[in-house]
Amino acid sequence: MSYAERYSVATSLLFFDVNGLKTVNDTLGHAAGDAVLVHVAETLRAHIRASDVVGRLGGDEYAVILTHADEAQAHIKADFLAGKICEMPARFEDQLIPVSAAVGVYTFGPGESPTDVLTRADKAMYDRKRAMKAAE
């Protein structure tokens, strides 16, 4: 965030929430849930630039910070990454576990706090998740 502010570059936060992790944990066990989390982390890391940052926020949530990415670019990347997560199932022992994630995008500017940015990206993720459920 300090880089974006110092150099006045468009920067976006992608907020990912893994769908159905509780069900995986409850039906296949926590080791299977851990395999899903590793799958998501590895997929995100494999498909971002070296200048971007990915991290697990906790539970089933991940954040990706995209420097030099305005809102339109961030939405394209978010959809791409969500597609990559779904494309390959997670492997656990002899099982393949389908994985999907909802993602929200927030492009932030100078002076915004990390808490506010995360809150807005989280809200965008939940708004998108609700819209997807309504469309089903």
Confidence of residue 3 (pLDDT cuts 50, 70, 90): confident
**DSSP letter at 115?**
H
91-125 tens-digit pLDDT: 999 999 999 999 999 999 888 899 999 999 999 99
60 classed as catalytic: yes
Residue 52 predicted with pLDDT over 90: yes
17, 26, 34, 60: the catalytic one is: 60
pLDDT, residue 8, reads 82
- pLDDT for the residue numbered 6: 83
Give the domain extent around 57. 2-135
Buried b (16+ CB within 10 A) or exposed e, 85-113: beeeebebeeeebebebbbbbbbbeeeee
Are 54 and 44 contacting, i.e. CB atoms less than 8 angstroms apart? yes
Beta bridge partners of residue 72, listed in sequence order: none
Per-residue pLDDT at 105: 97
Burial of 24 by CB count in 10 Å (0-12 exposed, 13-18 middle, 19+ buried)?
A: buried
Residue carrying the six token digits 């899903």? 36
Would you say residue 80 has pLDDT above 90? Answer: yes
Confidence of residue 135 (pLDDT cuts 50, 70, 90): confident
Q: How do 11-18 and 101-108 pair as beta strands?
A: antiparallel
- CA-nearest of 27, 46, 15, 43 to 97 is 27
Q: Looking at residues 23-47, what average pLDDT do you find? A: 97
Q: How many domains does the chain have?
A: 1
Q: What CATH number is attached to the domain comprising 123?
A: 3.30.70.270
In the predicted model, what is the mean pLDDT of residues 8-32?
95
Give the span between the Cα atoms of 134 and 112, in whole angstroms. Answer: 31
